[in-house]
Amino acid sequence: MRYLLLPACLALLVSGCLSVYKVEVQQGNVVTQEMIGKLKPGMTRSQVRFVLGTPLVTDAFHPQRWDYYYYLRRSNEDTGETRRLTVIFKNDTLASVQAGKPDKTGNQSPNS
């Protein structure tokens, strides 16, 4: 009986190691619809930064544009969800906001 107990315990322990735990990957700025709703034309850069946080990308060649990217891959999925929010300034005040999902070429498609 004792000789059967050891292999049974080992089999039970090994069976718990069959599935690999995958970590949920979250990168970038989380921007909610509520946050986007607080944005109004004419807001200053500091007001936009207060609402949305520091932008993930500030382009040296386009200082009037801030890009907020967000990527989420859940542990049970192989593909992830990518979202992008672009904020455009004119004369250091908010001019427009573009939200959507970037396609494979990097261009932004409108949110559905």
Q: What is the pLDDT of residue 111?
A: 47
- 68 by Cβ neighbours in 10 Å (0-12 / 13-18 / 19+) ranks as buried
Report the domain count for the chain: 1
- Residue 76 sits in a domain of what CATH number? 3.30.1450
Domain annotation covers residue 96: yes
Q: Kindly report the pTM of this predicted structure.
A: 0.66
Residues 6+ apart with CB under 8 A from 40: 94
Does a structural domain hold residue 7? no
Range of the domain at 89: 22-110
One pLDDT digit (tens) per residue for the chain, 112 residues:
677 888 887 777 777 666 777 778 888 888 888 999 999 999 999 999 999 999 987 788 999 999 999 888 887 777 778 889 999 999 999 999 998 776 555 555 444 3
Q: Is residue 60 part of a domain?
A: yes
Looking at the domain assignment, is residue 88 inside a domain?
yes
Q: Which of 107, 108, 87 is nearest to 96 (CA)?
A: 87
